[in-house]
Amino acid sequence: MQHSKSFSSIDPRTGAERRRFPGATPADLDRALAGAAAAFPDWSGFDPAPRVALLRRIAEELTARRGELVAVAEAETGLPEPRLGGEVDRTALQLAQFARMIERGDHFDAVIDPETPVAPDVRRVNVPLGPVAVFAAGNFPFAFSVAGTDTAAALAAGCPVIVKGHPSHPETAELVASLVRSAVAATGAPSGVFHLLQMSDLDVARKLVYAPEITAVAFTGSPAAGRAIFDLAAARPRPIPVYAEMGSLNPVFVLPGSLATAPESLADGYTDSLTSSNGQLCTKPGVIFVPIGEAGDRFVARAAERLDGRPPGIMLNASMRDRLAAGAAEVAARPGVHLLAGGTAPDGTGFSFPASLVEADLSTFLADPVLSEERFGPFGVVVRYGDPAELTATAFDGHLTGTIHCGAGDGETARRLAGELTAKAGRVVWNGWPTGVAVTDAMHHGGPYPATTNAAATSVGTNGIARFLRPVAYQNSPQDQLPPPLSDANPLRIRRKVAGETTAEAIITTERADAARGAVLLPALPGTPEPTPETARVLEEVPGYLGVPFVSPIFQALAGYPDYLAPAWERFKPVIGSPEFRKAAAGLGVPVGLLPRREESLADAGADLRIYTATFHRLLPELLLLASCWYRGLTVGAGAAAEPAADPGPRGIPPEALTITPDGGTPDDELARVYEEIRTLHDHPRVLSYYRAIGTRPGFLPQVWKRLEPIARSAEYSLAYQQVLAKAAAAAAGLPVPVVGTAHADDVRAILALFRLRLIPSLLFDTAVVLALVGEDAAIVTAS
């Protein structure tokens, strides 16, 4: 029988034992490893939907039980309730951010380089590594622990996770793990995607790192432990990456100009940062350089005064307190160092320690490496300097952050220090403080060794997912053998880099040489052809069936291919009048939240333009659905789900409808600029008749475009655009489609794709915005 080493949960405020926990055994580890390995094939699939569901469910569970989680963590860590409540919120936010990221497909980093005369077709996508071991941090019971950023990133990447809980807060870890397991069950994820192993026994932890099933390790903690894990992983028969975040001194340079007005206020900011979470943060400003002189003296005096007036804070555990006491005493005893505030011995009950500050001059600091070692806790070193030219960051090892406070006259020194810090730190902070790491896409929480074992990796922000992915390239792969993110059809609707251009559209050309020249090459619309008797009849019928007084440009473009247009129209015109078609088209609306408020300056647009825009807008959802159905008939080749009902006949043309004929003249410079911006933004091969028509009113289109352009460039617009395309494709899959053979299938497919992917959706959104701006809300087809 295998025995485990038990350990206790301790209240750091009193030092009293709360509860005993049995440590994980090698058998527990074996079960976790087997479960993770079994779960990986399903969990690592290319469809992000299951992972999105799990991440969001965990976030919801954390939020719902926030009060209970905070109460348990406060008793185990001594951290204050506001800090812990904010940390729960941050943990839920991290999970939600990763969910949004993989839902968009950004983590795939899909790149397609079509074949050229000198290179093969190569396509690259990221895939998950495999089961990941996460070592929870002691100072963040939520954000860097059981369901923290490392776990969230690994699960989002498609990697099962085995968490080694931190012995400083086992009750909190157990509670969070129960929430994660509940979310796993509720969402139907494989049970092996998550395991928590509680232990203080290092033997089992070493076996976890050495297990062949584990493909990467994420760690937050001390340099000694991080380096030990790194060395162990490197010694495996198959070495694996270790992403260890091991602390930092985070130097702060206060230049003379920054003290010119309010040195006391700056000192307040420093002491707040130094003592945040009782100094138990890896971004704590451990050393600060302050100029000699009256302003610097005021800064130092104010900092010492504030720290002396602060009651001793609670350290997370006894070992942290003892290491800080030993380290503080060692620094204070060095030649040339004197104590400014606090002390070097534990103070009070439990694991408390006073906030302390020591001072040395620049030459003493540079000559004594002991002064540049991190002391984890509320302890700081003030270094006084005379000439700013003597300041340097080149002597430092790698750090997570470096901070510069500067003002008038400091530009040259600040510029030099920034260059030096860029080589030494993962984040350079200007006129602020390094604590309080923002959870954003752009954040980089890492740095050169010894701050981390991998300076390119971050443990905060969505880029942290890259640690648990690896790229795979497919060369000259058949379409049916490509993973979904790389197929021409782009079924996941993700953004990809195709021939150097980022696009979410499918590749619709069948010519590799054409695809090599652009992201999605679509031909320019053909000129107006001389209609055959068959196409002339179709073009004459179209307005009555569509209920508008004009022929849509999509029919005009297809008129050059009578062998397709005529039979497709005969096959499909009964469907256009069916309730199923009209209901499906009505669902292809514009989200209400995307629409702007009425613009009074545009209210006098004129009844003709209002009616024209409203008529055009009502037509667009039907045209989008029609183009999607016809395109599906050509690309998928599916037959009709059911024969359409009898032809209901034309709907008739609404009497209020109005045809506006573009003037066809040369636009003035301002209008020409607007036309070019519209064409560039939507990648239209030409400006369609709608824009030319409203351009006949001098000054109106430029005013509209001034309001419309920022909306059309927004992320919300892009997301809604992709959603309406997905809805149209889904609706087309449930309707009959005209499967028509044609000798010009590639040309017809390209024309349909042009309208379906680009022209109709952008015009649908743009006309809705125009109608909102001129106050015609009742005419807008919208979706909630």
Active site residues: 245, 282
Beta carbons of 37 and 192 less than 8 angstroms apart: yes
Cβ partners under 8 Å of residue 650, min gap 6:
541, 544, 545
Beta carbons of 175 and 196 less than 8 angstroms apart: no
Annotate 355-376 with DSSP letters as a single string: -EEEEEEHHHHHH-GGGGS---
Q: Which residue has the tokens 């743009």?
A: 766
Phi, psi of 452 (to 5 degrees): -145, 170
Q: Which of 165, 210, 202 is nearest to 21 (CA)?
A: 165
Phi, psi of 713 (to 5 degrees): -95, 0
Tell me the sheet residues that pair with 501. Answer: 498
**CA separation for the pair 718, 723 (Å, rounded):** 9
CA distances from 194 to 160, 161, 163, 748 (A): 6, 5, 8, 50
Q: Which of 41, 46, 42, 154 is nearest to 485 (CA)?
A: 46
**CA separation for the pair 634, 748 (Å, rounded):** 9
Q: Which of 94, 109, 372 is nearest to 251 (CA)?
A: 372
Euclidean distance between the first and the last CA atom of the chain, given in angstroms as a whole number: 60
Q: Which residue has the tokens 């929480």?
A: 445
Per-residue 3-state assignment (H helix, E strand, C coil) for 373-404: CCCCCCEEEEEEECCHHHCCCCCCCCEEEEEE
Beta carbons of 535 and 541 less than 8 angstroms apart: no
Sign for the CA dihedral angle at 81, 85, 91, 94 comes to negative
Provide the 8-state DSSP code for 312: P
Cβ partners under 8 Å of residue 628, min gap 6:
728, 729, 731, 732, 756
Provide the 8-state DSSP code for 22: P
Question: Cβ-count burial of 591 within 10 angstroms (0-12 exposed, 13-18 middle, 19+ buried)?
Answer: middle
Token pair, residue 25, equals: 């055994």
Provide the 8-state DSSP code for 119: B
CB atoms within 10 A of CB 80: 15
Provide the 8-state DSSP code for 133: E
